Every structure is written in structure tokens, then in C-alpha cells.
Amino acid sequence: MNYTIKITGGSAEGPFNVYYDSINSSNLLASSVSRQSLLDGLDVYGVPLGASSILIENLDPDCLNVSSYVFPSPTPTPKEDTKAPKSPNRLTVELSPELEAFRLRVGAMVRRRPETKWSTKELKALKEVFDLNTPEEDIKLVEARYRSDDKYLRRELYTLLNNWNGEVDKVRNVSAQFQVEAPAHLSLDLKDYL
């Protein structure tokens, strides 16, 4: 790898030797470099990929010291999130009155308290199910099934929402078991019996 080494201060006049990782003749990148060259920016070549630091050794007998410059660890560049900001686990949104009513009905199927906050993925799944425009009579059949003592009911809200069409299909296939009872109306003309 190639680097430009540039100092921005200090009063030592040098000359300087430049090494990578340790002061060793096999790690020498430049020798007898003037202070002005380092102020201007010194290009060094052949720094191994695995090198972790650059060392600048002052060769002035009155000021023998070494300055070490450690390469920063590579860190992933954060990607800009183009989506709306989300809270970590819960999303607080205003739902339309129709969607809120549907949320309460579906939540009641799995005995979710109305005041319990829903996760982001649960709300997303709810909106997807709501957009299916399931006929009201099918929703009532699913509700009736979830009020029954059927032992094969989904217990998790997200699972119910992800399998909504399957739940509707089940109640359509066995709708006689889960029919919502309507009041019986009987109309008789007593003249037929007199």
C-alpha cells in the first residue's frame, strides 16, 4: 500500500527514518528524511497490507525519540437509512378508524389486550391482511372459531396474521361448526291452520 506521511507540527529538525510496525532495517520505508519533507507530505511505497502502524524515528542525537502512528481499524461505512425512523421494538402510529377496529378484533382472537402495543412487524402484517378486504362474514367465522374450544388455534398474533388466508379457508370449509347464530324468524299465517 502507498501512503503520504505528513506532520503538522513539532519542532524537531531531524533527520528522520520512517518504518512500519517496528524499527528494523527490513521495515525501513525512508531514511534521512528532512522535517520539511514531512511537513510537505512524504510519499512512501510498499507498506504491507497487514501493517498496523507507521513509526517516525528522530535521528538527531540530541533528541532521540520515536513517534508512532497506528492505522485505524477499518470500520464499516454506515449506510444511510432511507426508511422512516423506527423505534427498536415498537411502532407508534395513527391507524385509520377502520384499521384500528380491525386491529382490536384480530387482537381479541388471540386474547391480546387492547392497550398492548403491537410490534412493527405485527402492524405491517395487520395492514397486509386488512388490504385483502376479507368479507365480513368470513371475519365473523374466524372470530367464532377463535371463541370456540378448538384445540388447533394459532396462539401467536403474528402467526395468525401470516396465515390469515389459511384460517379463512378453514372456516369456509367447516363453516357449519362456527356459524354465527342469527335469531330465528318464523312467519306463520294462522289462517292456514284454522
pLDDT of amino acid 84: 53
128 is a domain residue: yes
Q: Please, are residues 138 and 172 in contact by the beta-carbon 8 Å criterion?
A: yes
Q: Which residues pair with 67 in a beta bridge?
A: 56
d(CA 58, CA 67): 8
pLDDT of amino acid 184: 53
pLDDT of amino acid 14: 81
| Dihedral pair phi/psi, residue 30, rounded to 5° | -155, 145
Reported as a single tens digit per residue, the pLDDT across 87-99 is 444 445 678 899 9
Identify whether residues 43 and 111 lie together within a single domain: no
23 is a domain residue: yes
pLDDT of amino acid 163: 94
- Cα–Cα nearest to 16, from 63, 56, 64, 74: 56
Give the residue carrying C-alpha cell 401467536: 156
Per-residue confidence in pLDDT tens, the chain, 194 aa:
777 888 877 777 888 888 888 888 888 888 998 888 888 888 888 888 888 888 888 888 777 677 766 766 555 555 555 565 554 444 456 788 999 999 999 999 999 999 999 999 999 999 999 999 999 999 999 999 999 888 889 999 999 999 999 999 998 887 655 555 545 555 555 555 55
Identify whether residues 126 and 165 lie together within a single domain: yes
Sheet containing 28-33, strands listed edge to edge, beginning at the edge strand earlier in sequence: 28-33, 16-20, 53-58, 65-70
Range of the domain at 42: 3-70
Identify whether residues 59 and 104 lie together within a single domain: no
